[in-house]
Amino acid sequence: MTTKFKKLSIAVALSTALTGTAFSDGHMVAKGTGGYSWDSLDKFENMDLSGVTVTVTGPWLAPENGIFTSIMSYFEEATGADVQYTGSDSFEQQIVIDTQAKTPPNVAIFPQPGLAADLASRGLLSPVSSNVKNAVLNNYAAAQSWVDLATYKDNKGKDQFYGVFFRVDLKSLVWYSPDNFDDYGYDVPETMEDLLALSDQMVKDGNTPWCIGLGSGAATGWPATDWVEDIMLRTQTPEDYDKWVTNELKFDDPKVVEAIETFGKFARNDDYVQGGATAVGTTDFRDSPKDLFTVPAKCFMHRQASFIPAFFPEDIVVGEDADFFYFPAFESKDLGKPVLGAGTVVTVTKANKGTEALLEYLTTPLAHELWMAKGGFLSPQKDAKVELYKDETLQRQGEILLNATTFRFDGSDLMPGAIGAGSFWTGMVDYVDGKSADAVAKDIQKSWDAIK
């Protein structure tokens, strides 16, 4: 899924969740109230950062910029620092210009780690200390994943740790109608084996298990890349997933072909998918989940990220008419509970006395809870109080994150654009149209070889 389209989709979902809420640059709640983890501030109240200004640049505009500024106000009050946040809708371009011109902010917030890794490799990011790294290891669920995702090679080719993830999006979800499940006595599956057995049972009952659409205008094909990425995490180790993203594990490796063929068990099965396999490549991804809610239902399950309710019919209420479950792992593979998603990484571009303290603050329960309560935010902070999420839907999605044994980013976003936003998309359309997984994988690998 492209960064541009991902931002649009998430923005739609967030604007829905936050409509009608306004924030100033002041405190969101009075200190000491609301059941928040106020003791998170104890360490920072012993710091004296008076006279220190920390400039921060990121992608968050209204209302998110107001929420972030409010969260920072507690850090400012505790330490005496002055945190100045500036949001930009052209952040990715501007941060490259500013770092190359040696006029960067102190802290930069990247919507995904790919650009951060690129700047690190050019010596344009500052590694952070083991204190920050240990804060992540001590405070985050699936902590090693978050360390791995913020570890990049510097300009000498040495691995260094560069930042803290703050705010996460979740992709490994299956959406369904509880009423339809109840009507047929279907149970939510706990394993991938159960999910496949449930799909077979639906077919026997005369139902169509899956709504799948890959259409997205010029970006047609991206929903299938998310499927394959989720399946890679459920059939191969996290290490192999990482090698695949960098092409150390070739796209035509049997492990990748297996993941594509596993996707095919869902998408190339006329009995499994609404409209038959030939409709998958032409059905718009925004339209496909609507068939969950027809009477009678045309299909029963839809695998898609947390933003998809923005495209449900207007009268559908999540938690009543629609619900979700974790896209399960294979019990037989013994690979834990991997989760696919996205998130923002906070890095240091120009270190000063306050930068690492700010990053440490962002690992605390309080910093996460304050945004959790406002919506549009999921957290891997294991000590943040899940009951403070704005609603039950976000709480349950947050619990999926906390239960994850591995977290990985959307692989196509980390691949070169010609692959992740090119041949991978078109290859998946070719696959659902009948081309073999092996041939598709070889074609994608050829396109990767061509850019080296």
Tell me what pLDDT residue 18 has.
Answer: 35
What DSSP designation does 190 have? Answer: S
Q: Does this chain's domain 3-170+340-409 share its CATH topology with 173-331+415-450?
A: yes
Q: What CA–CA distance (Å, rounded) separates 283 from 430?
A: 14
Handedness of CA 210, 213, 214, 219 (dihedral sign): negative
CATH of domain 3-170+340-409: 3.40.190.10
Q: Give the CATH number of domain 173-331+415-450; options: 1.20.1250.20, 3.90.1300.10, 3.40.190.10, 3.30.70.270.
A: 3.40.190.10
Per-residue pLDDT at 112: 78
Q: Sorting pLDDT into bands at 50, 70 and 90, what band is 6?
A: very low
pLDDT of residue 25: 39
Domain ranges of the chain: 3-170+340-409, 173-331+415-450
- The predicted-structure confidence for 285-332, as pLDDT tens digits, reads as follows 999 999 999 999 999 999 999 999 999 999 999 999 999 999 999 999
DSSP string for residues in 314-342: TT--BTTTBEEEE-PPPGGGT---EEEEE
The end-to-end CA distance of the chain, in Å, is 22
E runs forming strands in 250-405: 302-303, 323-326, 338-348
Quick check: 208 and 187 in contact, CB under 8 A?
no
Instruction: Evaluate if pTM is beyond 0.85.
Output: yes
Residue 169 pLDDT > 70? yes
Mind listing the pLDDT tens digit for each residue in 33-88? Answer: 999 999 999 999 999 999 999 999 999 999 999 999 999 999 999 999 999 999 99
Report yes or no: 444 and 423 within 8 Å, Cβ to Cβ. Answer: yes
At residue 452, the pLDDT reads 67
